[in-house]
Amino acid sequence: MWGINCWQTVSGNVVICSHKFQMKRKERYDTVINHFQVNIPEAETELLYDNPFQLLVAVILSAQCTDTNVNNVTKDIYKKYYTPKHFADLGITKIKRMIKSIGLFNMKAKNLYNLSKILVEKYQSKVPNNFEDLINLPGVGRKTANVVLNAAFNKPTIAVDTHVFRVSNRTGLTKGKNPNQVEEQLLKILPNKYLKKAHHLILLHGRYTCKSRNPLCTKCVINKICLYKDKNV
């Protein structure tokens, strides 16, 4: 019979005592991700898209902007313009007008136009399904490339945005000083079975529970093992 401070992972494979500092990192990964999977069963991007190009556009627009705002803009754009050829034909000025309610719209419009031209001329209007080609497109950084590879091409990548960075470090999954370190640590220790959904699970937990300000610690499913020193409890 377990003591009052002991509990079991959802998988039933690991028994964890609430003395959180004794937990090994592998056990922490197993426990955290399992609990996220149960409580966030539909873990996927909240950006709306019907093809890889639409997802690429949406992820670029989402920089310093909420997914809700991006969806409000793209839902009308995608009714008429949904291929690289469409965006290349529009030109920068027209793209600017369509996305003017999005932050950094001048730079984003320029990047969307230029990458669309490259996709048409070099990739037969198809979005590359490998990191090296994606990262060389205008406006595509490491996070954007990993999101597209994961969501559009089913690749086991980890995209580290502000939510993933915050939750990973707060909970003790990682000890990274920058997004690249967090990504490297997650990829190194996360079991393969978690890689496809891990980004979305951690991101959604950060967006709705482990918020930057005023985290909802009392409602958090991993409260007992979280290492965040400023818990709101």
Domain boundaries, the chain: 6-41+157-219, 52-153
The answer, yes or no, to whether residue 17 has pLDDT greater than 80, is no
Class of domain 6-41+157-219: mainly alpha
Query: Which residues are marked as active site?
Result: 143, 161
| pLDDT value for 12 | 40
pTM for this entry: 0.83
DSSP of 96-131: HHHHTTSTTHHHHHHHHHHHHHHHHHHSTT---SSH
| pLDDT value for 32 | 83
User: Which of 62, 118, 112 has its CA nearest to residue 87?
Assistant: 112
Residue pair 187/22 in contact by the 8 Å Cβ criterion: no
Query: DSSP secondary-structure letter at 8?
Result: E
DSSP of 39-58: H-SS-S--S--SSHHHHHHH
| pLDDT value for 1 | 29
Q: Can you read off the two tokens belonging to residue 99? A: 């996305």
Between 221 and 9, the more confident residue is: 221
Choose the CATH number for 52-153 among 3.30.70.20, 1.20.140.10, 1.10.340.30, 1.10.645.10. 1.10.340.30
- Per-residue model confidence as pLDDT tens digits over 77-128: 999 999 999 999 999 999 999 999 999 999 999 999 999 999 999 999 999 9
Which residues have CB under 8 Å from 220's CB, separation 6+? Answer: 209, 210, 226
